[in-house]
Chain A
Amino acid sequence: MPEIAAPAIIKPRRPNILARMFRTLRLPVNDPFAVAGLLIYLVFIATAVFADQITTHDPTEILYTPSYDLAADLRPGQDGFIMGTTSLGRDIFSQLVYGSRSALLIGVTAAFMVALIGSIIGLVAGYFGRLVDAVLMRLADIAFGIPFLPFVIVLAAFLQPSIWNVVIAMALVLWRDTARVIRSQVLTLRTRGYVEAARVAGSSDFKIIVRHIAPNILPLSFLYGSIAIGWAILTEASISFLGFGDPDSISWGYMLQDAFASQALAKQAYYWFVPPGICIILVVSAGFFITRGYENILFPKLNR
């Protein structure tokens, strides 16, 4: 970098968008558990993306052994089925791999919606205060009064059972936690000097919210979004397990339901119902570890 730049080059230069994003998001790279969590996420995302290449069979196809028998209840390794087969002759390994796809889809969309709705409501309530705040926070109280899982079950059953309806039902309730936290954060932010200065300089409310307040709460939204990923995956698993899931998608919850309904417990088919649970635990706890790493960065006082 030249010490004296030609005046013509001096523009309000901004660091490139990626670097800014990383700084704003502040990835927790010093916490070993958070790093492990990030690695699990990477593997998980890669599996979901390359599911077609990784799987050995079509997860919904009913398979047969080389001797033309139904490949039902095969143990891991038998006849080349890495993790065995289900009672209806489907390949468990391939189902497990495809399950990552619907988990990723559910987790990311639900988290995005929860963080988005929660942040907007929190921003608006905290910034405008008074009546707007009172109304929005009473709405949050109401959302806290709705039993979450029963609500999702009833909605998923009455609307067509599909991934999207499960996501919508979750977003309708879970925005409450994010909104409350963001609101209280905005309440302190809006009294800061630079917000006052922007107001005096004649910035519109919209501009103040978007340019001056929103960037400050972004890490917090991200934090609540990453908590919501875990919640969404667990909820989808419960919904599918109870039989209200999307019948067209293979998810870990669906696999567990299939195993439970097919007496896998009595058959001692651990190779069938243990792996989907482990996958859920890995992905959800990875989210928790990343979240914890974030908390340590965002709220160093809590660091213990």
Chain B
Amino acid sequence: MTNFKAVGSRLLQLALVLWAVVTILFLMFRLMPGNPMAAYIDPTFTLEQQQQLMAQFGLDKPLWQQYLIYLGNLLQGELGQSFRYREPVGERIWTLLPNTLVLTFSSLIIAYAFGILAGAYLAWRRGSFIEQAAIPAVLTTRAMPEFWLGMVLLAIFSFSLGWFPAGGTRAPGAEYSGFLDLYTSRDFLSHLILPAATLAIYSQGLPLLLMRSNMLDVMKEDFVTMARIKGLSNWTVVVRHAARNALLPVMTSFAIAVGYQLQGNVVVESVFSWPGLGRELVNAVAASDYPLAQGAFLMIALVVILMNLLADLLYAVLDPRVSHA
């Protein structure tokens, strides 16, 4: 089977990209002005802590040795100490990741459900007035700065109407016993609605346009003509025959969209004070908390790279005509 070989070479490519991104990250965080030790050691750390970190990251050694130590540490999941939180970066990131993922997936699921239905509908109503008007409207949503949309929604629904809280994930002082308890609480959901809506409005354009153009392609195919000749109803032809086939590439784009969304999260999380990876990255960079910034960046990059891989693999699995070239 050439398939195994193809998947193998794709995995090799993944390893190369990972290594390159990690290396770029290493070099980037040594670009900053001043002392290279500043990347890991804050002057307010105790002498003992400073020495421990010096040894752990080999900060007194030449650059190439530091690089090897850095790679070794990464392989063990060691990312250093956050300056501001005084706790390991890894732990900090694990507590933030769920918030980011909940926001990302809830907004994308809404965006895809809407985008797929609307895209199929617009393809069906091809040439109608509503289609002529909808396409430019969708393109306009793609031209919006996400954070601006968030600001407008905040001003209207939170500050003016008071329907939703203005930021964060929970009411002040609220305590939850566990993971599930928090994420299913009414309190959390009311905090989630505005940021998720912001991201969903921005993201629905991709699945919508993709679904529509796939539908238009599929509708020209022989099997659709065949279905029509058989005398099947318009609904059956469009939904059972055309839409199902047009759906495949849209589903693979979901993986890519997760990667893009994480980048968009950086600004939207900041607008809504959503305690996620993106906002933490921004705050860490602004506050010169380098280890945390590095860790957050790495985590986002990791998700982007894995999602690119997933999209490639899914594409081949769902549509056997595509070979891994």
Specify whether A and B are partners: yes
A242 touching B143, Cβ below 8 Å: no
Q: Which residue of A lies closest to B148 (CB)?
A: A277
Provide 10 A-B residue pairs closer than 8 Å at the C-beta atoms, listed in order of the A residue.
A142-B21, A147-B300, A148-B263, A155-B28, A253-B145, A259-B151, A265-B151, A280-B143, A281-B143, A285-B143
How distant is the Cα of A145 from the Cα of B297 in the complex, in angstroms?
12
The smallest C-beta distance from A264 to any residue of chain B, in angstroms, reads: 8
0/1 string, B263-279, CB within 8 A of A gives 1: 11011001100000010
How distant is the Cα of A138 from the Cα of B12 in the complex, in angstroms?
11
Q: Does A146 contact B (CB under 8 A)?
A: yes
What residues on A are CB-neighbors of B304 within 8 Å?
Answer: 145-147
The smallest C-beta distance from A50 to any residue of chain B, in angstroms, reads: 24
B263 touching A159, Cβ below 8 Å: no
- Contacts A142-B16, A142-B17, A289-B136 given; does A147 touch B144 at CB 8 Å: no
A241 touching B282, Cβ below 8 Å: no
B267 touching A242, Cβ below 8 Å: yes
B263 touching A277, Cβ below 8 Å: no
Q: Which of B279-325 contact A (CB under 8 A)?
A: 281-282, 285-286, 293, 296-297, 300-301, 304-305, 308
Task: Of the listed stretches B93-101, B154-162, B177-185, B247-255, name the one at the interface; the rest are far from the partner chain.
Answer: B154-162
How distant is the Cα of A33 from the Cα of B138 in the complex, in angstroms?
13
Q: Which of B23-53 contact A (CB under 8 A)?
A: 24, 28-29, 31-33
Q: Does A288 contact B (CB under 8 A)?
A: yes
Q: Does A141 contact B (CB under 8 A)?
A: yes
B145 touching A234, Cβ below 8 Å: yes
Q: Does A217 contact B (CB under 8 A)?
A: no
B297 touching A147, Cβ below 8 Å: yes
A244 touching B148, Cβ below 8 Å: no
Q: Does B57 contact A (CB under 8 A)?
A: no
Task: Of the listed stretches A5-13, A58-66, A76-84, A266-274, name the one at the interface; the rest are far from the partner chain.
Answer: A266-274
What residues on A are CB-neighbors of B267 within 8 Å?
Answer: 149, 238, 241-242
0/1 string, A30-63, CB within 8 A of B gives 1: 0001000000000000000000000000000000
Pick the contact of A242: B159, B266, B296, B297 (CB < 8 A): B266
Q: Does B109 contact A (CB under 8 A)?
A: no
What residues on B are CB-neighbors of A242 within 8 Å?
Answer: 266-267, 270, 282, 286
Q: Which residue of B lies closest to A172 (CB)?
A: B24
Q: Which residue of A lies closest to B263 (CB)?
A: A149
- Which B residues are closer than 8 A to A by beta carbons? 13, 16-18, 20-21, 24, 28-29, 31-33, 126, 136, 139-140, 142-149, 151-152, 154-155, 158-160, 166, 213, 216, 259, 262-264, 266-267, 270-271, 278, 281-282, 285-286, 293, 296-297, 300-301, 304-305, 308
A-B contacts, CB under 8 A, total: 145
What residues on B are CB-neighbors of A238 within 8 Å?
Answer: 145-147, 266-267
Q: Does A250 contact B (CB under 8 A)?
A: no
Q: Which residue of B lies closest to A253 (CB)?
A: B145
B286 touching A265, Cβ below 8 Å: no
Q: Does A113 contact B (CB under 8 A)?
A: no
How distant is the Cα of A146 from the Cα of B286 in the complex, in angstroms?
20
The smallest C-beta distance from B26 to any residue of chain A, in angstroms, reads: 12
The smallest C-beta distance from B213 to any residue of chain A, in angstroms, reads: 7
A260 touching B159, Cβ below 8 Å: no
B13 touching A159, Cβ below 8 Å: no
What residues on B are CB-neighbors of A25 within 8 Å?
Answer: none
Q: Which residue of B lies closest to A278 (CB)?
A: B148
Q: Does A292 contact B (CB under 8 A)?
A: yes
What residues on A are CB-neighbors of B213 within 8 Å?
Answer: 302, 304
Q: Does A154 contact B (CB under 8 A)?
A: yes
A266 touching B263, Cβ below 8 Å: no
What residues on A are CB-neighbors of B308 within 8 Å?
Answer: 144-145
B139 touching A150, Cβ below 8 Å: no
A154 touching B28, Cβ below 8 Å: yes
B155 touching A270, Cβ below 8 Å: yes
Q: Which residue of B lies closest to A291 (CB)?
A: B139
What residues on B are CB-neighbors of A276 within 8 Å?
Answer: 148
How distant is the Cα of A237 from the Cα of B148 in the complex, in angstroms?
9
B148 touching A304, Cβ below 8 Å: no
B17 touching A141, Cβ below 8 Å: yes
Q: Which residue of A lies closest to B136 (CB)?
A: A33
Q: Which residue of A lies closest to B283 (CB)?
A: A242
Q: Does A158 contact B (CB under 8 A)?
A: yes
B151 touching A146, Cβ below 8 Å: no
B148 touching A141, Cβ below 8 Å: no
Q: Does A230 contact B (CB under 8 A)?
A: yes
What residues on A are CB-neighbors of B146 within 8 Å?
Answer: 238
Q: Which residue of B lies closest to A260 (CB)?
A: B151
How distant is the Cα of A231 from the Cα of B256 in the complex, in angstroms?
17
How distant is the Cα of A234 from the Cα of B148 in the complex, in angstroms?
10
Q: Which residue of A lies closest to B24 (CB)?
A: A146
The smallest C-beta distance from B68 to any residue of chain A, in angstroms, reads: 20
The smallest C-beta distance from A285 to any residue of chain B, in angstroms, reads: 4
A256 touching B301, Cβ below 8 Å: no
- Contacts A265-B154, A268-B155 given; does A150 touch B16 at CB 8 Å: no
Given contacts A158-B29, A280-B148, 13 further A-B contacts (CB under 8 A): A150-B266, A155-B28, A158-B28, A158-B32, A241-B267, A256-B145, A260-B271, A265-B154, A277-B151, A280-B143, A288-B139, A288-B142, A302-B213
B136 touching A268, Cβ below 8 Å: no
A145 touching B263, Cβ below 8 Å: no
- Contacts A146-B21, A292-B139 given; does A265 touch B159 at CB 8 Å: yes
What residues on B are CB-neighbors of A259 within 8 Å?
Answer: 151
Q: Does A284 contact B (CB under 8 A)?
A: yes
A142 touching B20, Cβ below 8 Å: yes
